[in-house]
Amino acid sequence: MKTAQLQFASGKWMVDQVPANFPTEKAQLVLVFGSGELVTSQSLFDNIQSKFPHADIVSCSTAGEILHKEVYDDSAVVTAVYFEKASVKSVSVEINKNVNSFETGKSLMSLLNQDDLVSVLVISEGSFVNGSDLVAGFNELNSKNIPVTGGLAGDAARFAKTQVGLNTVAKEGTVVAIGFYGSNLAIGHSSFGGWDEFGKERVITKSSKNVLYEIDGKTALDLYKEYLGPYVDELPGSALLFPISLRTNDADKNLVRTILNVNEQDGSMIFAGNMPEGSRIRLMKVNFEKVINGSSIAATNTSLMQKDHKADLAILISCVGRKLILQDRTSEEVQAAQEVFGNDTAITGFYSYGELSPFNPGSNCELHNQTMTITTFTEL
């Protein structure tokens, strides 16, 4: 397995040197993570395609780009991958607000399912997809519990529109799934947050999918505002500072959910994932050192799955909420992961509107918020 990593920013290639031993004509996959302006640029897409003419080019807009051990804004990071033994298949569907996200996931998984499938990487639009239903669709046909990981595209901190593309410029309403095949490919994955829970545990008493109406029989938004203090006037943006820990009745671990918007008229809150009635929740707040250390824990857990081999490629997908919290310290969580992997592992990724990963090896994929989620690939 070989990789080549480039970067485009400020109208030019900042990094444009492909390693001499990288077979550009044989690259099977190119990942492009960048600002909405760049991933929708036809000229940039054509340029990338000319460099790697036979590869599937998968792109998405972000809330920040990860390359090596740094975090960038308003750039495009490009990672081309050549597998010597493994193979890759990329598929996509176009959706809108009225399309069933569960059926979308199920359809994409059916297109990829075959005996030698070892991993699926999902890059989804992040503006209106129901991430919980999307992963449930993938899980429906995943009888062998193949690792399904990935993330929802971002739009900086604007939350207006996101774009994803497969072999074309990125556009709104696209979901891409990449299947990886072959027994010589080892996959690692992990997801970790690092936030602190506080306050009493409460119960969701009224909800509909990802819309939360009542907590302990009281209007959800009114109860939430009691905890926000001076941040109440900055909703919905300030909600990123106080995500919610969610435990459903059949789960052995807590999920983290981020608020996307609020409805002042009916007092409801709209989340990035489903909020089932009867689930138990607690508010969360940031602990800077634990959040940064969470990235190191995710990297370490991922490395333990690599069969004593160094990862060839690590894809880091972290939540926009972590970036907004960490601000000038954002690169520290990427550097924490890089210290675990070392200099021989190619690192790329982006800041997202939701992260996809199983909790543990052999378990179903889940939608996460406010986590650092890492997927590694090693060709044996």
One-letter identity of residue 334 = V
The token duo for 229 is: 């203090």
What lies within 8 Å, CB to CB, of 226 at 6+ separation is none
Q: Are 356 and 366 in contact, with CB atoms under 8 Å apart?
A: yes
User: Average pLDDT of the chain?
Assistant: 94
Q: Are 81 and 184 in contact, with CB atoms under 8 Å apart?
A: no
In which band, very low, low, confident or very high, does the pLDDT at 297 lie, cut at 50, 70 and 90? very high
The residue to which tokens 């690259």 are assigned: 27
pLDDT at 158: 87
Q: Are 106 and 140 in contact, with CB atoms under 8 Å apart?
A: yes
In which band, very low, low, confident or very high, does the pLDDT at 240 lie, cut at 50, 70 and 90? confident
- Please state the rounded mean pLDDT for residues 227-233: 82
More confidently predicted of 111 and 272 = 111
- Please state the rounded mean pLDDT for residues 247-275: 88
| Total residues belonging to the chain | 380
In which band, very low, low, confident or very high, does the pLDDT at 307 lie, cut at 50, 70 and 90? low
What lies within 8 Å, CB to CB, of 25 at 6+ separation is 53, 54
- Name, of 175-184, 227-236, 250-259, the range with top average pLDDT: 175-184
In which band, very low, low, confident or very high, does the pLDDT at 253 lie, cut at 50, 70 and 90? confident
pLDDT at 216: 96
- Please state the rounded mean pLDDT for residues 124-129: 93
Task: State the pTM of this model.
Answer: 0.94
One-letter identity of residue 48 = I
Q: Are 216 and 205 in contact, with CB atoms under 8 Å apart?
A: yes
User: Per residue in 176-200, pLDDT tens?
Assistant: 999 999 999 999 999 999 999 988 9
- Could you please report the per-residue DSSP string of 279-300? -EEEEEE--HHHHHHHHHHHHH
Q: Closest by alpha carbon to 70, among 352, 377, 347?
A: 347
